[in-house]
Chains A and B, each alone.
Chain A
Amino acid sequence: MLTIRNLHAQLEDEKRSILEGVDLEVSAGEVHAIMGPNGSGKSTLSYVLAGREGYEVLDGVVLLDGENLLEMEPEERAAAGLFLAFQYPVEIAGVGNMTFLRTALNAQRKARGEEPVSAADFLRLARERAKHLGIGPDLLRRPVNYGFSGGEKKRNEILQMAVLQPRMCILDETDSGLDVDAMRQVSEGVNNLRNPDRAIVLITHYQRLLDHIKPDYVHIMAKGRIVETGGPELALKVETEGYGTMTGATG
């Protein structure tokens, strides 16, 4: 589903290279975890894939279902099924959470040539999905992420994912700042979304998220590249040994 080959990217302003040849192949139905120390380029990878301004792709290819992702606008990538759960979800004052989500859903549907979802159908869908995530009606009515706690913001990201039903989900440090209960709810939410048509990439520092969401593959990222790939046991190795040996191996 997602193919990344030799991806090189830098920060436009600083001309500082951050991704130095990322290779990754993600197939439908798989869950991949990308782990790595601070500054290894994990978040940059997610931003480059989502099309955020400020990053310059110098080389490489990114294909989503065979389409050249790098040539698309951010909203076209979203309509094509790419979803990024943000590490720091943005607050938008004055815009109702449901208004935001329905506008987004119908924008995507329109881009795909589908009919808009009626208000009633949407509300039913959103409420049902929210219930599973322990999100009450109050949170649905409030402005987008406005005054939400860290855990509420992360759960709201998963709610958006559950409503938008993207095929390729990238979760950027969704576990950061979560207490035990929130971690469980978020993980359940993600696990419920696992299916043979959907792929998930988890970006995380810590192994503990992977206790809840079992990955098929674990990748270690360091200095802008994926330096090691393995199964869930690789995450446990990181837990006990740290990143030192693996990142050191690349020189």
Chain B
Amino acid sequence: MSEQEEVALREGVDRETVRKVEGVGAPYRHGWETDIETDYAPKGLSEDIVRLISGKNDEPEWLTDWRLGAYRRWTELREPAWAMVDYPKIDYQNQYYYAKPKSFETRPKSLDDVDPKLLETYEKLGIPLREQEILAGVEGAEKAPAAGRPVAVDAVFDSVSVGTTFQKELREAGVIFCSMSEAVREHPELVKAYLGSVVPVTDNYFATLNSSVFTDGSFVYVPPGVRCPMELSTYFRINAKDTGQFERTLIIADKGSYVSYLEGCTAPQRDTAQLHAAVVELVALDDAEIKYSTVQNWYPGDENGNGGIYNFVTKRADCRGARSRVMWTQVETGSAVTWKYPSCILRGDESHGEFYSIAITNNRQQADTGTKMIHLGRNSRSRIVSKGISAGKAQNTYRGLVSMHPKASNCRNYTQCDSLLIGDKCGAHTVPYIEMRNSTSRVEHEATTSKVDEDQLFYCRQRGMDEEEAVALVVNGFCREVLQELPMEFAMEAQQLVAISLEGSVG
């Protein structure tokens, strides 16, 4: 890439950022809802509901039993209370666990059969723009250059996958990318072998809840030696009211394969909180590599803390094979409450886990997020870079575990946690746990906390930027190390989000 292009691209991002900041009237852009006829299961949770969800998906008996086992276990568990988050008690019997657009009574054969209103919804979201053109079936859209390379998208609307793009190209490469419900029908052997193998049914309260009621999600299998020819992406949208979203994602990278995957999330603006309890499982076999990026922009609630998404998510990767690599990158700007620790079990010798995180909390948002790096294999490596930004009256906690097991000799971890405070009513907290159970491994931990520097803001303003532009620029600079780990297409979106989510945090 020539120098000029490089600068042009970066410059373009900044112009976009500024345009977004200025062009956005309401603090949350995706707060509208789509008026679409929806088919709900009755409110509340019981064995009957679990059976009903399983039945709606035409699932085999083993999966119904698996769900029921999870449900029974869940009734014996207690909601965890150790995180540094505070929210009203959730009434699990007062919400819907299944919502499906009515037009899906019979499953669409192709995207042409999809309700135009649904496609409009994705068009309105505009993120990622080009994919929804393809989703909407715009002629020639698939051939148009999408910032260099195409991205295949699986769109999940409330409980159901709307459609997956680029099926043909992926099939030619041997890559399976489909909704979870489709995978259960078409590839039961793979689902059965790997589902719950990273996050067991009994893992934790929210994961167990998910196991019993998950409705859809994305499934990826990359065969041995295959480098997935394009970025894969799932776009999640919660639309229906009083509805939890419980998607389940399973990605398997077979020996020597590579895949890069991104998820994006939004939800309408409502004054009642909504629950999102997802589970993501990644399996990397020998020499395989998975990059998993998240841009999370669920509705954060209003400035007084009403409404918003409770984002209680379990994400875990099993670096099962030797020399396998997993990289988590997350940009968490939305949700009223975030409880999320994308982790790596570094089981394979010389396996590699990385975690890059930006968590931005504004107004009354609360985030308790971080990672766990569990070193089981010899010579395994992990790297953690966390950037927490807190504004308004928000609380932002990094919570992380680095564990070196007795047999995991010669392992290394490097952790860097930086917190940035904007204003004087917010909080930043760092809670690292380190377990060293052998003498040959090494752990490094660095942490900083700083405030947005008035001198920097004045410098920017003296050169002509207004205060919000200045804050967006400085914060984007603070996050640079993480932003540059995102795929290019999403780095731009993320930069814009950084700017938007900090609106109103100064002045």
Contact = CB atoms under 8 A, between A and B. Distances in A.
Interface of A: 50-53, 73-75, 77-79, 83-84, 86, 89-90, 92-96, 98-108, 111, 116, 119-120, 122-123, 137, 143, 160, 164
A74 B7 contact: no
Given A79-B464, A92-B474, A95-B476, A119 B8 contact: yes
A50 B474 contact: no
Contact of A92 (B15, B456, B481): B456
A104 B10 contact: no
Interface stretch (B294-302, B304-312, B465-473): B465-473
A194 B453 CA distance: 33
A116 B15 CA distance: 9
Contacts of B11: 98-99, 102, 119, 122
A95 B477 contact: yes
Interface centre among B466, B469, B481 (most CB of A within 10 A): B466
A52 B478 CA distance: 23
Given A120-B8, A122-B11, A137-B3, A90 B459 contact: yes
Contacts of B479: 94
A98 B14 CA distance: 11
A104 B11 CA distance: 11
The 3 closest A-B pairs by CB, nearest first: A94-B477, A94-B480, A95-B477
A54 to B, nearest CB: 8
B437 to A, nearest CB: 36
Given A90-B453, A92-B473, A95-B473, A104 B7 contact: no
B463 A104 contact: yes
B76 interface: no
A143 B459 CA distance: 14
A100 B17 CA distance: 13
Interface in B438-480: 453-456, 458-467, 469, 473-474, 476-480
Contacts of B466: 73, 75, 107
Nearest to A119: B8
A74 B477 contact: no
B14 A102 contact: yes
A74 B461 contact: yes
B393 to A, nearest CB: 22
A107 B19 CA distance: 11
Interface in B1-56: 3-4, 7-8, 10-12, 14-15, 18
Q: Which of B4, B458, B474 has the most CB of A within 10 A?
A: B458
Contacts of A102: 11, 14
Given A107-B464, A164-B463, A94 B478 contact: yes
Contacts of A94: 476-481
Contacts of B10: 96, 98-99
Contact of A103 (B4, B8, B18, B454): B18
Given A92-B473, A103-B15, 9 more contacts: A75-B464, A75-B466, A95-B480, A98-B7, A106-B18, A119-B7, A123-B8, A137-B3, A164-B463
Interface residues of B, number: 33
Contacts of A86: 459, 462
Contacts of A50: 458, 462
Contacts of B458: 50, 52-53, 74, 90
Given A119-B8, A164-B463, A103 B478 contact: no
Contact of A90 (B8, B14, B455): B455
Contacts of B454: 53
A96 B6 CA distance: 12
A71 B318 CA distance: 60
B483 to A, nearest CB: 9
6 contacts: A53-B458, A73-B461, A98-B11, A104-B465, A108-B463, A119-B8
B161 to A, nearest CB: 37
Nearest to B478: A94
B4 A75 contact: no
A88 to B, nearest CB: 8
B464 A123 contact: no
A101 B474 CA distance: 13
B171 to A, nearest CB: 39
Nearest to B479: A94
A92 B472 CA distance: 12
Contacts of A104: 460, 463-465
Given A75-B464, A103-B18, A92 B459 contact: yes
A135 to B, nearest CB: 15
B14 A99 contact: yes
Most buried by A among B3, B12, B461: B461
A164 B466 CA distance: 16
B456 A160 contact: no
Contact of A164 (B460, B461, B464): B464
A160 B463 contact: yes
B478 A75 contact: no
Contacts of A95: 473-474, 476-477, 480
Contacts of A100: 460, 463, 473
A107 B480 CA distance: 22
B498 to A, nearest CB: 12
A103 B477 contact: no
Contact of B477 (A51, A75, A77, A143): A143
A73 B468 CA distance: 13
A101 B11 CA distance: 10
Interface-central residue, B10, B14, B463, B466, by most chain A CB under 10 Å: B463
Contacts of A84: 462
